[in-house]
Chains A and B, each alone.
Chain A
Amino acid sequence: MKKLPLFAFFFTLLFLSSSAFDSDELLLDDEEFGIEGRAQPAQPQVKPHEPATTRSTTTTTRKRLSDSDSDSKIQFSLEHAFGDSDFTPAGTFSARLKTASHGGQMKQLESYYYNTGSLNEETLKLTKLRISRNQFLGVEKEKFEKLLQDDDFYRIRLPSNPLSPPGRDYIISSVKARCLPQEGLDEHFVIHMEGANILAVNYGAFGACSYPRQLKLPAKWSFNSHTVLKNPEQAQRAPIFAEDILGGENVEGEVLPPPERSFWAKYWMYLIPLGLIVMNAITQAMNLPEEQAAGQSGGQGQQPAAAIQRGASSAVRRR
């Protein structure tokens, strides 16, 4: 009962997202959506199980809360490299690590969003991903400018297992540096998760990066980061036909009248020739004064005059 208004809220969000393009669309499949420098998104209101204790993060990569074992905060670092250089720290991701338990409202919520049909009791999950991005310092700025000059790659990497970094291997992603500068440096992370493991990260420009890439320096040297966590969606099951198909057939009996088609859809085949005739007439009407003008200034040469005459005669014939 309680969930109903909650769902309604989300549905409104869904509809809103389809009208406004920029950021709301991400909410569709986003776990968490944090934009640095902007106001905190309204999610905390929605999630009823938001724990009261939020500890300020320290530099250690992982901190578990002692009192609550189902929810803890972790941090992992983002590293970057300019072209072929070595990776250096570039920022930190902080996220909430959740142990999904059966029966809880949270779990139901989750299964509503991600359709995760059967969750194991020990399923770990990252939520509420947030990034704090280091600003480019002097040397880094120079390096980045060099990348922009050469149209080279700006590379980032994340540990494949944020709980025990780096895990099996680092996840690398890269983008042509020239794709990033807009107003500031717009970047967009889509992190694909499998349980608590990071599977892949899609790093790139927030919007389009049109080819050929133009050299453009950012006005502000600060990052405008967007992050999205993604979990797999469940595939549609093969349809299984049972008795309800009989019920369906009753509906089929009454034939629906085909929807009224638009004027254009009905008569396009007449309209297009009509349009062509009109266009033809217009061009001829335009040609007529020109012809006269050309006729007056005739004697410049045989060739163009003849050509015009030919054109005129053909126009006459066509009529």
Chain B
Amino acid sequence: MILIETKGRSVSSHWHKQRGRVICHIQLFMATRVFLLILLLLSSATSIFSLYEDQVGLMDWHQQYIGKVKHAVFHTQKTGRKRVLVSTEENVIASLDLRHGEIFWRHVLGTNDAIDGIDIALGKYVITLSSDGSILRAWNLPDGQMVWESFLRGPKHSKSSLMVLKTLKVDKDRVIIVSGKGCVHGVSSIDGEVLWTKDLAAESVEVQQVIPLHDSDKIYAVGFSGLTQFHAYEINAMNGELLKHETADFSGGFVGELALVSSETLVALDTTRSILVTVSFRNGKINFHQTYISSLVKDSTGIAMILPSTLTGMFTLKINTLKLIIRVTGEDQLELVEKFDHATVVSDVLSISEDKEAFAVVQHGGIKIHLQVKLSDDWNSDLVKESIEMDQQRGLVHKVFINNYIRTDRSHGFRALIVMEDHSLLLLQQGKIVWNREDALASIIDVTTSELPVDKAVSVAKGEHNLIDWLKGHILKLKGTLMLASPEDVVAIQAIRLKSSEKSKLTRDHNGFRKLLIVLTKAGKIFALHSGDGRVVWSLLLPSLRKSKVCDCPTGLNLYQWQVPHHHAMDQNPSVLVVGKCGYSSNAPAVLSFVDTYTGKELNSLDLGHSVAQIIPLPFTDSTEQRLHLLVDADRRVHLYPRTPEARTIFQQEFSNIYWYSVEADNSIIKGHVIKRTCIGEVADDFCFESGDLWSIVFPLESEKIIATGSRKSNEVVHTQAKVTSDQDVMYKYISKNLLFVATVSPKASVGIGSADPEEASLFAYLIDTVTGRILHRMTHHGAQGPVHAVFSENWVVYHYFNLRAHRFEMSVIEIYDQSRAENKDVWKLVVGKHNLTAPVSSYSRPEVVTKSQSYFFTHSVKAMAVTLTAKGITSKQLLIGTIGDQVLALDKRFVDPRRTVNPSQAEKEEGIIPLTDFLPIIPQSYVTHALKVEGLRSIVTVPAKLESTTLVFAYGMDLFFTQLAPSRTYDSLTEDFSYALLLITIIALVAAIFVTWILSERKELQDKWR
């Protein structure tokens, strides 16, 4: 994103420092060619990444999550496996083992398919209602297979609810009552057939609640029409017959939620939110009764809200930060039972026997939480009173669900499932945390990596316990390689490999495989995961990203490496910068937070007075190795961080070389900016700068809409600038950090596949220099449309789109080469010095570039794309494609080479050019995720290891997956299963043989002499 015009020079500086070296490089090209040839011979033409069955889990790990739980239903009645069914905010339904918290089965619904309700019907089906009450599905309880699915239609959007009638038994079919989209439906639970539909929206009634009547087939549907009219419908649940319809007017009007107190009493708020209205509709008569809130509580200023609850005879009212439990006694008398602070959570009611119902209350007290289970008709009865120590990093309790069981002494026991502020899920029983799940990891926003501490006391013996163990292990391995191992030995070998303590150490390793993955989640919690085994090293619920009085809905945005110490790596800890903002609007104030990555402590946090629209990490660091960052706010002002005089001096030296761009996707405008001067404002601020527009590209709205952009990763290293083709020619890559790929489509084609005809859809691909706004390349794909996924690396970009004419997905590649350096082929020119390789590159020169492109069909649609990154950029590249099946596929870059021809010549074959095909091959062995799925895959992150051949891949979505990849195999290290013992034994045998033959020859010589 940051564009330093003159820095083009530094990319190539190593290459043209000295003339002599250039010659070496020419030699190097040739040498690499020879080397490639040898490689080609060695690896028998196919370099497919794949692994053996016993290698699974050695380098990779996989974790499954579900997200923040919304609803939970327990299934514990029958003997057998006890489970809890949950639906989450990430649109997941899952069945969890109640004993360990593991997932039995799980389904991820689409991103637009939010779950409204979950219940169990017939004791064997899980019923879910989703998409605003329009899709009803039944899943088999034991294995999660879908049994049936029904689509419910309605005229308009309204509140939706799901209810399985418990008491009705008609041919053992239980009717499911669904209200949503303005209608009430009765659905058979056996096959999902819609038995009846009552369109209440036609009578302009908005259904608020459906109430079952005990021991009868009847239900009540209550709602409002307009603000003031209250309606109650009595409906036969079997056939949908309308039995009674009553209305009554209440002049005060209604607002917000209705609370059901008993089957015939409701409580609502009037429009002023100061009066509680008790509605009772007994025997066909509707009565209203008003009670002022101020008569119940003294301090009743503030907005009152009725919270949804199912407590019998009681309801919960929220005023400011207070939660009030109010009981309805008699007909319409209200009585305040209890006052809680806002952090207290009340569960739904659970019937524990014929006439008894219980509910749970969870309160915070210091480092502990207090769980009480009470009978609903007696507030002072405490069936359970437990205090549990809680990790402070989990924040407040957000939800509680309870379940009962019979203890060994035949009394009632309770277990509670609680959902915390950090989205974690815990099961409490007998005052202990039975298990917990860190489900915040299902909603990762951003990832960065941090190095582990340098091992201060280096001891090799730490990993291997002693020499005998070490030898034993190697002899076992030797047995394995010589196929002498018994089955038990094989198991032992596998166990040794899997639990190798080497990979999970908390220190830096020589190869750079061990790292900390720092992830920021939607919950505002930061986790540090160890790359070796994926365990959580530390976690921190950021105070600045927690809901507070100042900020109602803080959101995390990005993570950046703030300080990466190299000079003082032994005594300074690296830290990351977390950028968040308060609220969702574009001019919401920004929040910064600095977190130490070794200790997981927040070092500092700043509430900024300005908003944040863009964050630009600059390639400069100050003396303490803190990276300079620019924050661009909504008014296009630029703020420099850290706010130190030193940072300002560094920044001012590079002032005129800083350019950046902004993409207004909705407006289809791309603009380039430059810093002009310090801000002129009321308060003098030395760290604030005004910006000016340098260039703009205005796409005509009627024909083009921006749908994808892509640029090179700032930390990418390009090893060689030149590419030697088969005919001894050199092509110079156009390597600029300032290139931006933009894809636009016709507005009609931007909605989804099928929305436009091939004639009216086209896709435009652009390569733009972001310093000058120059369009270096512009290309049309007629009859193509989005969604577009693009990846930019070195001098090429690969993008994926849909071809409407061919009815297939396609991938195109654009490679861009620099012509201005093309004359530097002659060796003598280089020797004499008549070349322009040492000249600094300026974006203001007229570029002489040539592009090569080619398109290929690709079978899958794509969710994410990335490219492998290695430390020096020597290793060949692989594209990592997140497929629609939530897997990650590695595709060699050679397959998307624009120079592929139908019949490559011998020389081209030697160079590694694959014969042209219309399809990109999908080789099953090249799935990086092998048999696993990364459910809900959102992004793939690649990080270089210190070892050149290896790159670390982290794919995340609902699940996390981490592995190591070697796109050109591990040519620079011995494989992990290399048998040192075999080598040792061979050497010993050889030495012994030498000695024996020496002695023998001596003897023979002696004998010869005696003869």
Contact = CB atoms under 8 A, between A and B. Distances in A.
A176 interface: yes
Given A195-B703, A232-B778, A233-B779, A211 B842 contact: yes
A265 interface: yes
Contacts of A169: 669, 696, 698
Contacts of A202: 772-775
B782 A117 contact: yes
Interface stretch (A34-42, A54-62, A245-253): A245-253
A312 to B, nearest CB: 25
Given A233-B778, A233-B779, A252-B903, A204 B846 contact: yes
Interface in B899-949: 902-903, 905-907, 916-918
Interface string A202-233: 10111111111100000000000000001011
A289 interface: no
Contacts of A153: 674, 694
Contact of A174 (B695, B781, B902): B695
A84 interface: yes
A258 B902 CA distance: 17
B772 A175 contact: yes
B700 interface: yes
Interface in A226-246: 230, 232-241, 245
B694 A174 contact: yes
B997 interface: no
B872 to A, nearest CB: 25
A84 B774 contact: no
A155 interface: yes
A256 B909 CA distance: 13
Contact of A235 (B701, B765, B773, B775): B765
Contacts of B916: 239
Contacts of A117: 782
A268 interface: yes
B903 A84 contact: no
Interface in A246-282: 248, 251-252, 255-256, 258-259, 261-262, 265, 268, 272
A308 interface: no
B553 interface: no
Given A251-B903, A258-B906, A238 B699 contact: no
A172 B669 CA distance: 11
A265 B728 contact: yes
B155 interface: no
Contacts of B773: 173, 200, 202
A168 B664 CA distance: 14
B775 A200 contact: yes
Nearest to B852: A236
Interface stretch (B284-292, B378-386, B388-396, B853-861): B853-861
Interface residues on A, range: 35 or more
Contacts of A106: none
B166 interface: no
Nearest to A241: B918
Given A205-B846, A248-B902, A272-B27, A199 B853 contact: no
Contacts of A173: 694-696, 772-773
A84 B691 CA distance: 11
B30 A234 contact: no
B295 interface: no
B846 A211 contact: no
B52 interface: no
Interface in B1-26: 5-6, 9
| Chain B at the A interface: SS class | mixed
B674 A199 contact: no
B759 A239 contact: no
A153 B765 CA distance: 29
Contact of A238 (B674, B704, B775, B810): B810
Contacts of A188: 846
A117 B696 CA distance: 29
Given A169-B669, A206-B846, A248 B700 contact: no
Interface string B684-704: 000000001111111111011
A84 B692 contact: yes
B1001 interface: no
B772 A204 contact: yes
Contacts of B27: 272
A197 interface: yes
A257 B692 CA distance: 61
Given A153-B674, A238-B806, A211 B6 contact: yes
B697 to A, nearest CB: 4
Contacts of B704: 194, 199
B846 A160 contact: no
A270 to B, nearest CB: 13
B853 A207 contact: no
B780 A234 contact: yes
A151 B656 CA distance: 9
Contacts of B918: 238-241
A97 B773 CA distance: 26
B845 interface: yes
A192 B779 CA distance: 12
B708 to A, nearest CB: 15
A118 interface: yes
Given A153-B694, A197-B700, A232-B778, A205 B674 contact: no
Given A171-B696, A210-B840, A204 B774 contact: yes
Contacts of B844: 175-176, 179, 204-205, 209, 211, 213
A164 B292 CA distance: 64
B878 interface: no
A93 interface: no
B700 A199 contact: yes
B764 interface: yes
A162 B700 CA distance: 12
Contact of A268 (B30, B694, B782, B903): B30
B812 interface: yes
Contacts of B692: 84
Nearest to A244: B902
B838 to A, nearest CB: 11
B699 A258 contact: no
Contacts of B856: 238-239
B839 interface: yes
B694 A155 contact: yes
A256 B905 contact: yes
Interface in B823-847: 839-842, 844-846
Contacts of B841: 211
Contacts of B868: none
A238 to B, nearest CB: 4
Contacts of B857: 238
Interface in B173-209: none
Contacts of B671: 172
A198 B704 CA distance: 12
Contacts of A176: 844
Interface of A: 84, 117-118, 151, 153, 155, 160-161, 167-176, 179, 188, 190, 192, 194-195, 197-200, 202, 204-213, 230, 232-241, 245, 248, 251-252, 255-256, 258-259, 261-262, 265, 268, 272
Given A151-B656, A168-B698, A235-B855, 18 more contacts: A153-B674, A160-B698, A170-B696, A172-B671, A172-B694, A179-B844, A194-B700, A199-B697, A232-B779, A233-B779, A233-B780, A238-B854, A241-B918, A245-B902, A248-B903, A255-B906, A258-B905, A259-B907
Would you list the 8 A-B pairs with minimal beta carbon distance, nearest first? A209-B844, A208-B845, A197-B700, A238-B855, A200-B697, A211-B842, A202-B774, A160-B698
17 contacts: A153-B694, A167-B698, A168-B701, A169-B669, A169-B696, A173-B773, A174-B695, A175-B772, A194-B704, A199-B699, A200-B697, A205-B845, A210-B840, A236-B853, A238-B806, A238-B856, A262-B728
Interface of B: 5-6, 9, 27, 30, 656, 669, 671, 674, 676, 692-701, 703-704, 728, 759, 764-765, 772-775, 778-782, 803, 806, 810, 812, 820, 839-842, 844-846, 853-857, 902-903, 905-907, 916-918
